[in-house]
């Protein structure tokens, strides 16, 4: 009952915030909120852009790609040169080339996969100017692409889908910055750290810590406490569905996530913008029922996998005679909050953790893994989740049109061969990246060398890693040693493909739809706001995911579950 109550409170508060935030964001993108107009105009003048100029989808795409390429170069350079730059009180050296490449791709692609320990690798300057800034810009990129696709549905017989520079600027100034300031302030009140002071060495409160090093038994009476400007990065990592932690253990660290209240606020912020964007979409296309239908489909799938995760962790480990699995979880959060976080962070393209997914039961770990593999569309990343869901909606109405023998329509636009080709590419790219990458990793020695556990669980670690990179999530089964040249390179390529090779077909769809005229609804038009369509959309998502990944899941968590409970 307690678990059910916690889940209900979380979902209830989340859904209550969808409409007000979604309406506000719609007003921002439609130009009705300009209270920061002087600052906004200053940004345009400094960048030398004309915000009122409309762009076709190709110009919009080039703007996105160049903006992110510059971000990649900046993050890579900061890591390689951090030993020469200020705000490095611990005197950390330059990050290796392969790790710098992986991290730069990771943060510009909104993946935030971390093969390094933040408190032992990155200077304060790198964390702030490189990683935190890209947390804002990568989130703004996903939201801008979604708004461009939304305009494709809303407009008729035009080439213009908006201005990429205006969309990026307004997203950052009016949405991401204000929300991040509020959340960062709340985290500081709970004990989150925000300081430029160097790390502190303190005496242990309890008896000396015993440990072994190079065969010698040693002890210490001191502990080094890592500090830094963490709260500001934590806020945007959650709100922007980034997930990259300031510290190595992410939001399981007490300086990132000190209390149950901070835990609830961070969990809420993971799904807040993705959920609210559904209402934004409905407002901008002129029919809020469409947004509610998409949100309902997301919620149905999310609740199903959340139930699997919670119940599996409550069931515990029969081999140990333990009824509840607390391994890898923080006592201050418990099983239910850990399971909610695991489901939320993988339903969104977030990737932050407050518990170690590697320590979950087989089915408890399968739930977040499957949510990633569905394409990060169940809420998904800010912007990227909803435009991924819209791609599945296009596929669903096309299948429905084939069933009744008429040209499919969605929101008054005919879905024809070009849209279906682009939608097929957007669906297939992440699936192919995950399966091909996993296949290569289990065949080559550098890939197998990273496995910390034998058998089915070791395979699940690799599958989770490529699923996470191939869908821009960023979380990991902690048992995979991924900070190696092989995994840094392979996962970096996977993150790059799955982010930008999806943006291309999505913007192509936006441009194609914007040029079309609206088709009046007829008796043969499939209503896309009804429970029937919601069920059809959910079925399309689950069938495509099952056909693609069930064989791989059967070799990992499914067989591990059968082995666990058959003994």
Q: What is the pLDDT averaged over residues 356-379?
A: 88
| Average pLDDT estimate for 312-326 | 77
Instruction: Look up tokens 């599945």; give the residue.
Output: 392
Whether the pLDDT of residue 342 is over 70: the answer is yes
Q: How far apart are CA 400 and CA 420, in angstroms?
A: 13
8 A C-beta contact, residue 145 and residue 503: yes
**Ramachandran region, residue 87 (left: φ > 0; alpha: ψ -120 to 50; beta: rest):** left
Q: Can you tell me the distance from the alpha carbon of 291 to that of 275, in angstroms, rounded to the nearest whole number?
A: 9
Residue 177: how many CB atoms within 10 A of its CB? 16
- Model confidence pLDDT, tens digit, residues 77-96: 999 999 999 999 999 999 99
pLDDT at residue 215 above 70? no
pLDDT of residue 216: 65
**CA–CA gap between residue 415 and residue 397 (Å, rounded):** 8
Query: For the whole model, what pTM was predicted?
Result: 0.93
Q: Quick one: pLDDT at residue 210?
A: 67
> Which token pair is 122?
């990155």
Least confident of 210-214, 351-355, 463-467, 545-549: 210-214
Q: Pick the closest to residue 232 from 224, 242, 223, 217 (CA basis).
A: 242
Residues 193/255, Cβ–Cβ less than 8 Å: yes
| Per-residue model confidence (pLDDT) at position 567 | 63
Average pLDDT value for residue range 150-166: 94
198-209 pLDDT, tens digit each: 999 888 777 666
Residue with tokens 């400094």: 46
pLDDT digits (tens, 9 = 90+) for 400-414: 888 877 778 898 999
Q: How far apart are CA 317 and CA 203, in angstroms?
A: 38
Q: What is the distance between the terminal CA atoms of the chain, rounded to a whole angstrom?
A: 30
Task: Please tell me the predicted confidence (pLDDT) of residue 503.
Answer: 95
> CA 489 to CA 383: how far, in whole Å?
26
Q: What is the largest distance, in Å, between two alpha-carbon atoms of the chain?
A: 81
Query: Is the Cβ–Cβ distance between 73 and 459 less than 8 Å?
Result: no
Query: Residue range 359-383: average pLDDT?
Result: 89
Say which DSSP state 473 is in: -
Give the pLDDT mean for 486-499: 92
Cα–Cα distance, 535 to 547 (Å, whole number)? 18
Question: Is the C-alpha dihedral spanning 464, 355, 271, 240 positive or negative?
Answer: negative
Residue 136: which pLDDT band, with cuts at 50, 70 and 90?
very high
Q: What are the domain boundaries of the chain? A: 381-565
pLDDT above 90 as % of the chain: 65
Residue 172 has pLDDT above 80, yes or no: yes
Identify the residue with better confidence: 223 or 102.
102
Q: What is the mean pLDDT of residues 149-169?
A: 94
| DSSP-derived secondary structure letter, 216 | E
**Rounded mean pLDDT, 145-169:** 94
Residue 562: predicted pLDDT: 85
């Amino acid at each position: 009952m307690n678990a059910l109550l916690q889940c209900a409170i979380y979902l209830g508060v989340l859904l209550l915030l969808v409409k007000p935030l979604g309406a506000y964001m719609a007003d921002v993108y439609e130009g009705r909120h300009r209270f920061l107009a002087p600052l906004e105009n200053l940004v345009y003048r400094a960048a030398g852009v004309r915000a009122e100029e409309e762009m076709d989808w190709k110009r919009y795409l080039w703007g996105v790609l160049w903006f992110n390429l510059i971000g990649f170069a900046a993050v890579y350079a900061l890591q390689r040169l951090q030993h020469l730059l200020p705000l490095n009180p611990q005197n950390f050296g330059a990050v290796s080339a392969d790790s710098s490449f992986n991290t730069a791709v990771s943060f510009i692609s909104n993946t935030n996969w971390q093969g390094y320990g933040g408190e032992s690798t990155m200077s304060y300057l790198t964390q702030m100017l490189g990683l935190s800034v890209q947390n804002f810009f990568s989130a703004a990129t996903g939201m801008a692409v979604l708004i461009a696709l939304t305009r494709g549905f809303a407009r008729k017989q035009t080439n213009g889908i908006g201005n990429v520079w205006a969309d990026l600027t307004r997203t950052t100034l009016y949405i991401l910055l204000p929300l991040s300031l509020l959340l960062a302030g709340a985290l500081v009140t709970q004990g989150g750290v925000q300081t430029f002071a160097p790390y502190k060495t303190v005496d242990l409160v309890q008896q000396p810590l015993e440990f072994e090093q190079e065969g010698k038994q040693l002890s210490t009476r001191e502990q080094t406490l890592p500090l830094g400007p963490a709260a500001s990065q934590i806020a945007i990592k959650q709100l922007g569905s980034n997930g990259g932690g300031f510290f190595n253990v992410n939001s399981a660290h007490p300086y990132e996530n000190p209390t149950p209240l901070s835990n609830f606020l961070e969990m809420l912020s993971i799904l807040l913008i993705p959920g609210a964007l559904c209402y934004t979409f409905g407002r901008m296309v002129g029919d809020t029922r469409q947004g509610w239908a998409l949100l309902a489909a997301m919620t149905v799938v999310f609740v199903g996998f959340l139930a699997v995760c919670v119940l599996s962790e409550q069931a515990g480990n029969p081999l140990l005679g333990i009824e509840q699995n607390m391994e890898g979880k923080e006592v201050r959060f418990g099983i239910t909050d850990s399971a909610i976080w695991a489901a939320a962070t993988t339903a969104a393209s977030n990737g932050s953790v407050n518990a170690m997914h590697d320590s979950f039961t087989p089915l408890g770990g399968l739930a977040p893994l499957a949510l990633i593999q569905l394409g990060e569309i169940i809420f998904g990343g800010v912007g990227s989740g909803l435009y991924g869901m819209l791609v599945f909606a296009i596929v669903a109405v096309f299948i429905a049109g084939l069933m009744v023998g008429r040209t499919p329509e969605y929101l008054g636009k005919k879905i024809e061969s070009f849209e279906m080709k682009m939608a097929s590419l957007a669906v297939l790219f992440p699936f192919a990246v995950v399966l091909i990458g996993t296949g290569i990793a289990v065949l080559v020695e550098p890939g197998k060398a990273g496995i910390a556990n034998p058998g089915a669980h070791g395979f699940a670690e690799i599958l989770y890693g490529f699923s996470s990179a191939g869908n821009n999530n960023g979380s990991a089964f902690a048992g995979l040693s991924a900070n190696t040249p092989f995994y840094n390179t392979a996962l970096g390529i996977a993150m790059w493909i799955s982010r930008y090779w999806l943006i291309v077909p999505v913007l192509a769809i936006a441009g194609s739809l914007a040029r079309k005229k609206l088709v009046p609804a007829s008796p043969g038009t499939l209503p896309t706001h009804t429970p029937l369509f919601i069920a059809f959309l959910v079925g399309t998502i689950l069938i495509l995911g099952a056909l693609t990944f069930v064989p791989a899941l059967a070799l990992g968590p499914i067989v591990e579950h059968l082995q666990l409970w058959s003994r």
